[in-house]
Chain A
Amino acid sequence: MNIVVCVKHVPDATADRKFESDNTVDRVGVDGLLSELDEYAVEQALQLAEKNEGSEVTALCIGPEGAADAVRKALQMGADKGVHIVDDAIAGSDAIATSLVLAEAIKKIGTPDIVITGMASTDAGTSLVPAALAERLGLPQVTFASVVETQGDQIRAKRDGDAATEVIGATLPVVLSVTDQTGEPRYPSFKGIMAAKKKPLETLGLGDLGLGADQVGLSVAWTAVESTAARPPRTAGEIVKDEDGSGAKALADFLASKKFI
């Protein structure tokens, strides 16, 4: 089974994330890492590969120079090879443009049996890319899966929807996105870290994908961020210690002062 797993390199969510003066995400001033939610995608890719002998897992990432770290992490976890798409012209692309580059990269790699993505990136967090990829590749969309099973060329996934819990079925090849309910991602072992150094990591540019600079990037994006502003810090609230029921009384007073009761 051939599997491509899409991994994004994102600013650390626990750090102080910021915007650049052109309103794009600051990807330099904050440490980056493999998006936490894409680790679940890598884990599912590896588990599916383990269940299907002779499988190959390719980790695919679009991002600046440093984003290769996300691919390396995937290789350390156990992916077989990596493809990193780097091009200055891509900077500032929105989700729909990103899906175009990913789709062309996947066609170049050779359409796999399963394209796996995370449920959302932890920076943009739009959840647009997986559905847009399915649309562009003309593949069935099996998304927000919390449990995944394959049998032969059939895939079944559980999806917790707003109104119902559903089982989605499709015939491979498919685009699959997985949630953090699929199971904890593995940590790279020492052996895995050493082995990753010898695994192939190919770097490609837009030209290699037959795309032009006029199709991607900030200047031609289909959306524009007009302004960004840090939320004013919350003013420190009142904190009381509960002693002999005084906490509940004080809280009730507060709720009454705000007219909630």
Chain B
Amino acid sequence: MAEILVLVDHVDGAVRKTTNELLTIARRIGEPSAVFIGSGAAPVEALAKFGAEKVYVVDDAEIKGYLVAPKAEVLQQIAATANPGAILISSSAEGKEIAARLAVKLESGVITDAVDVDANGVTTQSVFAGNYTVQAKVTKGTPIITVKPNAAAPEEVAGAGAAVPTAVTISDAAKTATIVASQPRQATGRPELTEAAIVVSGGRGTGGDFTAVEALADELGAAVGASRAAVDSGWKPHTFQVGQTGKVVSPQLYIANGISGAIQHRAGMQTSKTIVAVNKDEEAPMFELVDFGVVGDLHTVLPALVAEIKARK
């Protein structure tokens, strides 16, 4: 069975949930091999737990300070010997850029933003702001597929987890864009926006006061999101933005509060399974999307909802 390479998405060795999803998908297509680029002890056990048969371990001392390009070279060099059946990468900004460079290097087709991948490598994507579903396939070379969070339920299947220390050579050309400074994102203590099962977000209608939105999020164990209007007003950092130019989320439940529902916002949440909105204006376009809507002031409805949920526990 062909090896399927999975590029491990991690923060300082802590494997992100998306990687477990990729390993689960890889097992459908072939034999999952994880590629870990990092320093310190590689999380071999954590990867084996979700089915990694092999873990290529690449020390990132020479890679860390540069943007994207060296990682594409790592995958190119591993692919040259492993001859994989497919290469799976998380569909983040960086993941898609690695995929783009790798596609040119390997002369292979690339598909981005898959929300599902079947055993034959046929992908499902959601396009045009979620209005269309498309199925596609790579027809040349080694299929390179970037996969969105929540594309599969991670399955625990013990893999052999054989660590393969791997030496790579990074070209000078790949070291021309340097990371001059880096400020790690502050932990919010809440679930990752793109991975969360529930997202509670706020827009201009919050008037800058996210207290009620955050209280509801915490009651539900949800991530907090924001519209661009809220981000542009400086109420939340850009990493909270949901939409075309922010994060695209597809949770089980999305609750939009004081958000009108512009097409660019919809593009980031339209595929959520269940959609709820609270808005003062009954004409707000967001209500066209909802499974349940409340016409009312979020500053009274949300605290009352939190009290109601507490009372029912």
Contacts and interface: CB of A to CB of B under 8 A. Distances in A.
B105 A135 contact: yes
Interface in B115-152: 122, 126-141
A3 B208 CA distance: 39
A221 B133 contact: no
A144 B97 CA distance: 10
Closest 5 CB pairs of A and B: A242-B296, A222-B109, A248-B304, A140-B176, A131-B97
Interface stretch (B29-37, B42-50, B180-188): B180-188
Contacts of A131: 68, 96-98, 100-101
Interface string A154-188: 00100111111111111100100001110000000
Interface of A: 13-14, 17, 19, 23, 37, 94-96, 99, 119-120, 122-123, 125-132, 134-136, 138-144, 146, 156, 159-171, 174, 179-181, 221-231, 234, 237-242, 245, 247-252, 254-256, 258, 260-261
Given A122-B244, A127-B97, A168-B177, A251 B104 contact: no
Give the secondary structure class of B's interface: mixed
B276 A251 contact: yes
Given A135-B104, A254-B276, A229 B133 contact: yes
B235 to A, nearest CB: 15
A228 B112 contact: no
A207 B307 CA distance: 69
B100 A179 contact: no
Contacts of A231: 126, 130-133
Nearest to B93: A144
A161 B95 CA distance: 11
Contact of A146 (B11, B238, B293): B238
Interface string B205-223: 0000000000000001000
B253 interface: yes
B312 A252 contact: yes
B274 A258 contact: yes
B78 interface: no
Contacts of A250: 292, 294
Interface residues of B, number: 88
Contacts of A138: 173
A26 B305 CA distance: 45
A216 to B, nearest CB: 13
Interface string B262-281: 01100100000011101000
A224 B312 contact: no
Given A135-B72, A167-B180, A242-B294, 10 more contacts: A14-B263, A136-B104, A144-B93, A166-B183, A169-B180, A223-B138, A223-B139, A226-B135, A251-B276, A251-B305
Given A166-B182, A237-B293, A128 B99 contact: yes
B39 interface: no
Interface of B: 11, 67-69, 72, 92-94, 96-101, 103-105, 107-113, 122, 126-141, 173, 176-185, 198, 220, 238-239, 244-245, 252-253, 263-264, 267, 274-276, 278, 282, 287-297, 300-302, 304-305, 307-309, 312
A242 B280 CA distance: 9
B305 A252 contact: yes
Nearest to A142: B177
Contacts of B289: 234, 237
Nearest to A17: B128
Nearest to A13: B263
Given A240-B294, A251-B301, A96 B104 contact: yes
A166 B181 contact: yes
B301 A248 contact: yes
A225 B114 CA distance: 12
A175 to B, nearest CB: 9
Contacts of B287: 237, 239
A126 to B, nearest CB: 5
Nearest to A123: B128
Nearest to A230: B132
Contacts of B308: 248-249, 251-252
13 contacts: A13-B244, A13-B267, A96-B103, A128-B112, A130-B100, A132-B101, A135-B69, A163-B185, A174-B177, A181-B238, A237-B287, A237-B289, A255-B309
A139 B174 CA distance: 9
A35 B3 CA distance: 39
Contact of B180 (A126, A168, A179, A241): A168
A165 to B, nearest CB: 5
A223 B109 contact: yes
Contacts of B309: 252, 255, 261
